[in-house]
Structure 1
Amino acid sequence: MGTATPEKFRLFRRSSWGEWKQVADILRQETVGGMLLLIGAVVALVWANSPWSGAYESMRELTIGPHALHLDLSISEWAADGLLAIFFFVVGLELKREFVAGDLRDPRRAAVPVVAALGGVVMPAAIYTVINLGDPSALRGWAIPTATDIAFAVAVLAVIGRFLPSALRMFLLTLAVVDDLVAILIIAVFYTDELSVMPLLLALVPLGLFTLLVQRRVRSWWVLIPLGVVAWALVHASGVHATVAGVLLGFAVPALRRRGERVGLAEHFEHRWRPVSSGVAVPIFALLAAGVAFGGLDGLGRALADPVALGIVAGLFLGKAIGIFGATYLMGKFTKAELDGDIAWVDVFGLAVLGGIGFTVSLLVGDLSFGAGTERDEHVKLAVLTGSVISALVATVILRLRNRVYRQVHEKETRDADADGIPDVYEEDYDPDADPGRPTGGDTGNGSGPPVGEAADEPSGQETETRRGT
């Protein structure tokens, strides 16, 4: 008897049913958050270009907070340093869950969005740097076009790609989350001008207590939130951007289930805090950060002629598309992987172009690069908006061309002939070797075993997280 040839690894293979249910819930919340973000940005732009623009600037510059604790910040600084810490806390939770308890614990599946995200960071930064080589002061903004705004992108996707295959939606979500993690690392390393070691060391105390409590499954908000706030304040006082504290707190939360738990603690916190992040924190940040006076068409033209603005627009539109698509394509070639039968390379390219929608983190890095309220900061805002709009429009054209194919895939992915609540395709395509995120023994997540996509209970009752450090 001959030895069977192992099946090639497929790029954008359909996820497990449990993982897709989790991602679908995230995408619904991000869609609503993206719509609120757009509303906040539009209100800011209209307000900043209205006869009441003075009131807008006065609101942004209003300072509140205790000076003794170095927290006498303007409203706009509270939004950038405080509210976005909530956003990055959710990012940390999501990354922890995906790579510890989700489908991406399979290194082969994780490698694709991670490599694509890195390509989508390196190429925009390279394009921006080449355009601004002649101006050393402009080079400080090299990281501005490196971030994809997941809420903005998903909101656009909700309008133009409602039938996009589930694997592509998961790819976009994971890519953007990894992208955000890289962005926060860049902020911590390259945008920390003065470092105070003592507050940073002191921040380890509340962070350690928070970690100890969540590992023991303490969920009391009146204990955890004060510890998180103290950790955030100390990181802010150290000179490291305070949003780094949000990611660290998110990573501290265990993702695997303990005996008797229906969901892991990271997933529980994610469900609680994602609506706050996407529905409150990010839209308010957009309202306070996106307001920029155009100064008419002439002023807009002069702003976009600035090499900094040109680098941002080119980085977002061209850099993201080339970096994400190129890295994914090379990943497939080097690993000799094949595209899933429902996906074509043009779909990947359309999604890569959509990745050029940069907003929240791009505006944050712009403030850190040139200073809030400066002339170049205004140019950054216009460039980020312009690059994002161009990317959204071009991605719309590309993805709409394949809408008929997407409808057919959507019908296949949602058909449930036996009416058991699980689409038939997730039962027909089950392969325990290729899909480790789905439990064996015929369980489909209908109550006869542990929920799909979650770790099984430990026989001894000991926490899996405690032994593995997760």
Structure 2
Amino acid sequence: MSPHPPRPPQPPQSPVRSVFGRASFPEYQRVLAILRTETVGGALLLFATMAALAWANSPWAGSYFTLRDIKLGYAPWHLELSIGHWASDGLLAVFFFIAGLELKREFVSGELRNPAKAVVPVAAAAGGVALPAFIYVLFNLGSGAETLKGWAIPTATDIAFALAVLAVINTHLPAALRTFLLTLAVVDDLIAIGIIAFFYSTGLEPLMLLAALVPLAAFAFLVQKRVRSWYLLLPLAAATWAFVHASGIHATVAGVLLGFAVPVLSSGRKGEPEHGLAESFEHRLRPFSAGFAVPVFAFFSAGVALGGAGGLGAAFTDPVALGIVAALVAGKTLGIFGTTFILTKSTRARLDSSLAWIDVAGLALLAGVGFTVSLLIADLSFGTASAHNDHAKVAILAGSVCAAVLAAVVLRARNRHYRAVELEEQRDDDGDGVPDVFSAPERKA
């Protein structure tokens, strides 16, 4: 007879989840492809911004604002817009179409399809939106209802600029962190889309919104049938955009709806490409979005006369500007880092053993680089003729630069360590074309 009584059966325990764990090799390759495109786009975005600021503060500044305000289009359809508005309402719709494709792809076949993996980036993105908005409101509580309209300005992360910063500092961050930054930005875009649609829509026209459903449904029907003919899809997309614009909802929402309509997975039919239609459209349109649409929008939106409306001194005595800078630099960092830290301490999620919390802090700082969507929300909040709008844009630039510099300091300090780690991870001793680290047994989970 055994001297020890048998142990009672133990209840099963859920496995510990690794936060920022390694993605699959196909996902890793997809992230690298996006990084290359967005990094080039970020450089073009930076060039367009600097050109706009230089022109708007030159002796020829009047010609810049004249060009931006030239009206083109057809008035009865609410389409007689200035060139600046065509850039923000029209070209940015392409950017949001790509965002819609990326969102659907992430939820159907990407990192967000697994709730256990999605909970951390989704919660971190929510924290990175809520805390900046709260900080902005604190700075503007006593300044009247007008300034409070800008509460959503510092909530957005500009992934193109953030990745451009990564390229400039030549960091060797692990792919898992880069994947997290992209996933975080995707969720951030989704929240920004909701904010624009629900809080910045004015004069809603239900009939126009219902009319938009007709070309949208036709577009959805054709893409579900895997039709790729641009001469059929482009007119339907343009009609959807025009009706949404006339409905009072910001026209960029049309881009998101069209992106959601595109199937992600291949139909599996004979002769059909292995990848889905969403990947095909994204491959074709992402270079146009990152290389043309977003830089042109930035060129017509970032041109602020720094000497106007009292100069920089007046901008940084405006609680709008102070709230934006504090929210981008401190709010984004604390919101993302704090949410991630709390989740790992209160659930079975744990930081991957190959990473340190200082890496997460650097990434959270980098998320404070807000630009494209922040500029758009500034225009929607205050209007292009408002001094608050000019001050907000100065603050967006200042806050983004500050966040980028601080992130560069933190991430450069980790550069040497991860360069050595990356060299080890690139080994392919078995010669199968896949780095050994992806096929190691301990990594397959």
TM-score > 0.5 by shorter chain: yes
Aligned to 1:149: 158
Give the C-alpha shift of residue 298 in structure 1: 7.0
Aligned to 2:256: 247
Give the C-alpha shift of residue 330 in structure 1: 1.2
Aligned to 2:430: 418
* Residue deviations 1:447-468 (CA, integer Å, cap 9, x gap): xxxxxxxxxxxxxxxxxxxxxx
CA contact (8 A) 2:100 2:259 kept: yes
Question: Secondary structure of the equivalent of 1:10?
Answer: strand
Aligned to 2:171: 162
Aligned to 1:97: 105
Aligned to 1:258: 267
Aligned to 1:192: 201
Aligned to 1:442: none
CA contact (8 A) 2:129 2:332 kept: yes
CA contact (8 A) 1:353 1:392 kept: yes
* Residue deviations 1:180-228 (CA, integer Å, cap 9, x gap): 1111110110111210000000000011111111111001111111100
How many Å separate the matches in 2 of 1:69 and 1:94?
A: 30
How many Å separate the matches in 2 of 1:338 and 1:429?
A: 19
Question: Secondary structure of the equivalent of 1:343?
Answer: coil
Aligned to 1:452: none
Give the C-alpha shift of residue 268 in structure 1: 1.0
Aligned to 2:329: 317
**Aligned counterparts, 1:294-305, within 5 A:** 294-295=306-307, 299-305=311-317
CA contact (8 A) 1:16 1:103 kept: no
Aligned to 1:455: none
- After superposition, the CA RMSD in angstroms is 1.7
Aligned to 1:466: none
Greater shift in the superposed pair: 82-91 or 102-111 = 102-111
Note if 1:83 corresponds to 2:91: yes
Unmatched runs of 5 consecutive residues or more in structure 2 = 1-6
* Residue deviations 1:282-316 (CA, integer Å, cap 9, x gap): 00011110011111897112111100000110110
Residue 284 of structure 2: which of 251, 272, 275 is its match?
272
Note if 1:72 corresponds to 2:84: no
Residue 342 of structure 1: which of 339, 354, 361 is its match?
354
Note if 1:235 corresponds to 2:244: yes
Question: Secondary structure of the equivalent of 2:316?
Answer: helix
* Residue deviations 1:99-151 (CA, integer Å, cap 9, x gap): 10123211111111111110010000000001100122100000000000000
Residues matched between the structures, number: 433
Give the C-alpha shift of residue 406 in structure 1: 1.4
Q: Closer, same or farther in 2 for the Cα pair 1:347/1:362, shift >3 Å?
A: same
Aligned to 1:221: 230
Note if 1:363 corresponds to 2:375: yes
CA contact (8 A) 1:17 1:426 kept: yes
Q: Closer, same or farther in 2 for the Cα pair 1:209/1:430, shift >3 Å?
A: farther
How many Å separate the matches in 1 of 2:184 and 2:35?
A: 13
Question: Secondary structure of the equivalent of 1:141?
Answer: coil
Question: Secondary structure of the equivalent of 1:261?
Answer: coil
CA contact (8 A) 2:309 2:387 kept: no
Greater shift in the superposed pair: 240-249 or 406-415 = 406-415
Letter aligned with residue 186 of structure 2: V
Give the C-alpha shift of residue 375 in structure 1: 1.0
Note if 1:381 corresponds to 2:390: no
Note if 1:27 corresponds to 2:35: yes
Give the C-alpha shift of residue 257 in structure 1: 1.8
Aligned to 1:395: 407
Q: Closer, same or farther in 2 for the Cα pair 1:296/1:245, shift >3 Å?
A: closer
How many Å separate the matches in 1 of 2:427 and 2:70?
A: 54
How many Å separate the matches in 1 of 2:384 and 2:428?
A: 53
Letter aligned with residue 193 of structure 2: I
Note if 1:211 corresponds to 2:223: no
How many Å separate the matches in 2 of 1:429 and 1:5?
A: 22
Length-normalised TM-score, structure 1:
0.89
CA contact (8 A) 2:171 2:412 kept: no
Give the C-alpha shift of residue 261 in structure 1: 2.8
CA contact (8 A) 2:332 2:364 kept: yes
How many Å separate the matches in 2 of 1:227 and 1:395?
A: 43
How many Å separate the matches in 1 of 2:425 and 2:335?
A: 29
Q: Closer, same or farther in 2 for the Cα pair 1:430/1:72, shift >3 Å?
A: farther
Q: Closer, same or farther in 2 for the Cα pair 1:57/1:415, shift >3 Å?
A: same
* Residue deviations 1:352-377 (CA, integer Å, cap 9, x gap): 01000000000000000000132111
Question: Secondary structure of the equivalent of 1:168?
Answer: helix
* Residue deviations 1:5-63 (CA, integer Å, cap 9, x gap): 76411000000000110111011000000000000000000000001101100110010
Unmatched runs of 5 consecutive residues or more in structure 1 = 435-470
CA contact (8 A) 1:36 1:283 kept: yes
* Residue deviations 1:360-412 (CA, integer Å, cap 9, x gap): 00000000000013211110110000000000000111111111221123223
Q: Closer, same or farther in 2 for the Cα pair 1:92/1:201, shift >3 Å?
A: same
CA contact (8 A) 2:150 2:378 kept: yes
Greater shift in the superposed pair: 258-267 or 232-241 = 258-267
How many Å separate the matches in 2 of 1:367 and 1:297?
A: 17
How many Å separate the matches in 2 of 1:410 and 1:356?
A: 26
Give the C-alpha shift of residue 72 in structure 1: 0.4
Give the C-alpha shift of residue 68 in structure 1: 2.1
Note if 1:331 corresponds to 2:343: yes
Give the C-alpha shift of residue 162 in structure 1: 3.1
Give the C-alpha shift of residue 419 in structure 1: 3.1
How many Å separate the matches in 1 of 2:345 and 2:423?
A: 30
Give the C-alpha shift of residue 421 in structure 1: 2.1
Residue 57 of structure 1: which of 42, 53, 65 is its match?
65
